[in-house]
Amino acid sequence: MKLYYFSEMPHHEYPDAEGEKYPSLRLEFPNRFFDREKAHANYQRYLTEYELADQVGFDGLMVNEHHSTPSCVNVGVNMSAAILARTTQRAKILLLGNILPIEENPVRLAEQIAMADLISGGRVLSGFVRGVGVEQWWSNVNPIHNRERFEECHDLILKCWTEPGPFRWEGRHYHFRHVNPWCLPLQTPHPPIWIPGTASPETAIWAGRRGYTFVPFLVPFEIARELFDYYRKGAAEAGRTVTPDKLGFLICAVTADTRAKALEAGRHFVWRMGPTLRGPVEFFSPVGMRSRAGTQFALKARPRSLGSMSYEDLVAGHFIIAGTPDEVADRFALVQRELGIGHLLLEAQESRMDHPTTMRSIELMGAKVIPAIAPL
């Protein structure tokens, strides 16, 4: 099983009491609490941590993108991927991902991902996501069109990568009369495509039909298995066999020299489960963004919100894994047995977890955990 390092590049640099005064940290919490100097220093440390993860043997470095929120100030997944393409040598660079429905120019996206792939020597794994509702508000793209735009944007990017230009694209949402990108990915026919899932059966089926790698995020095991079943259904429709390298899973994880230290560090993940997800349902799932089936599945997938769970509940449910290297290796092996996955994505830094703690966790993962689980 392959391990991936991931940080949301949080900006938890304000008094929590201030954040609590607002209905949500997303969209509503005023950016006068953004600290420019700390952000400068944080970007440096976060990138250093990614570079160490590459050096110690992580199979991949995952980056993501959000907007209008202190929970993630990585505001450009292709920008951070381009930096890592140049400053790291070995690990895959997993963009998970570009938020297709809010993109106005899929051709530009195809070019940027290609450029990161070229600079990195063909290490890009290109994730495509539908995004959370907050990004619909941020971009002001009509959430009614979320799925249509996701699919059309995807189709145009794939055409850019696989069919010679120049060509014309006249779709429902995208219109380009002269498409001929002079920047194509190093990997042929194109970088592997990854798709995350939290609550949408349609997305799982869609990914399965196309043979993309499918990665549920932070859901209970039984929900992940159910999503994988939808994925397999889609794969079967297309006559595909599903191997473990098509399945991944994302959890939060940290290790340290002692169990006590690891458990203390793991508490930093609670912030991303609760405070950063607090807010009206309209912020996260605006009108029309989810199908009726998706809405029904979302209710089932989250019988309890992550925010309502205690740290102990989150650890017991394997949403957070924190322990000595041996302990986390055992837990990762358990996740692998439970889900039959080939990729485990670790959200490995959060909130105010400091630089030395993060660096030590990365070192220990490289020295003890990765060798233990690589053969699985």
Of the residues 140, 175, 239, 241, which one makes contact with another protein according to CB under 8 A: 140
Nearer to another protein, 61 or 99 (CB): 99
Of the residues 36, 164, 281, 303, which one makes contact with another protein according to CB under 8 A: 281
Q: What is the 3-state secondary structure (H, E, C) of 173-185?
A: CCEEEEECCCCCC
When asked if residue 142 is in the footprint of another protein (CB under 8 A), the reply is yes
Supply the minimum distance, in Å, between the C-beta of residue 373 and another protein: 44
When asked if residue 222 is in the footprint of another protein (CB under 8 A), the reply is no
Of the residues 287, 299, 316, 367, which one makes contact with another protein according to CB under 8 A: 287
Stretch binding another protein (CB under 8 A), from 70-78, 195-203, 281-289, 331-339? 281-289
Of the residues 20, 222, 229, 282, which one makes contact with another protein according to CB under 8 A: 282
Nearer to another protein, 140 or 241 (CB): 140
Supply the minimum distance, in Å, between the C-beta of residue 22 and another protein: 14
Stretch binding another protein (CB under 8 A), from 47-55, 83-91, 240-248, 286-294? 286-294
Stretch binding another protein (CB under 8 A), from 136-144, 216-224, 252-260, 318-326? 136-144
Q: Residue 142, Cβ neighbours under 10 Å: how many? A: 16
When asked if residue 143 is in the footprint of another protein (CB under 8 A), the reply is yes
Site string for another protein, 288-317 (x = CB under 8 A): x-----------------------------
Site string for another protein, 223-262 (x = CB under 8 A): ----------------------------------------
Of the residues 41, 144, 299, 316, which one makes contact with another protein according to CB under 8 A: 144
When asked if residue 131 is in the footprint of another protein (CB under 8 A), the reply is no
User: Sheet harboring 124-129: ordered strands across?
Assistant: 213-216, 193-197, 124-129, 92-99, 60-63, 2-7, 343-349, 248-255, 320-323
Extract the tokens encoding 139.
């971009």
Nearer to another protein, 144 or 316 (CB): 144
Neighbouring C-alpha atoms within 13 Å toward the C-beta of 298:
17
When asked if residue 175 is in the footprint of another protein (CB under 8 A), the reply is no
Nearer to another protein, 136 or 357 (CB): 136
Nearer to another protein, 172 or 337 (CB): 172
Supply the minimum distance, in Å, between the C-beta of residue 222 and another protein: 26
Q: What is the 3-state secondary structure (H, E, C) of the chain?
A: CEEEEEECCCCCCCCHHHHCCCCCCCCCCCHHHCCHHHHHHHHHHHHHHHHHHHHHCCCEEEECCCCCCCCCCCCCHHHHHHHHHHHCCCCEEEEEEEEHHHCCCHHHHHHHHHHHHHHHCCCEEEEEECCCHHHHHHHCCCHHHHHHHHHHHHHHHHHHHHCCCCEEEECCCCEEEEECCCCCCCCCCCCCEEEEECCCHHHHHHHHHHCCEEEEECCCHHHHHHHHHHHHHHHHHCCCCCCHHHEEEEEEEEECCCHHHHHHHHHHHHHHHCHHHCCCHHHHCCCCCCCHHHHHHHHHHCCCCHHHCCHHHHHHCCCEEEECHHHHHHHHHHHHHHHCCCEEEEEEECCCCCHHHHHHHHHHHHHHHHHHHCCC
When asked if residue 121 is in the footprint of another protein (CB under 8 A), the reply is no
Total number of residues that touch another protein (CB under 8 A): 12
Nearer to another protein, 27 or 39 (CB): 27
When asked if residue 41 is in the footprint of another protein (CB under 8 A), the reply is no
Interface residue list for another protein (CB under 8 A): 137, 140-144, 280-282, 286-288
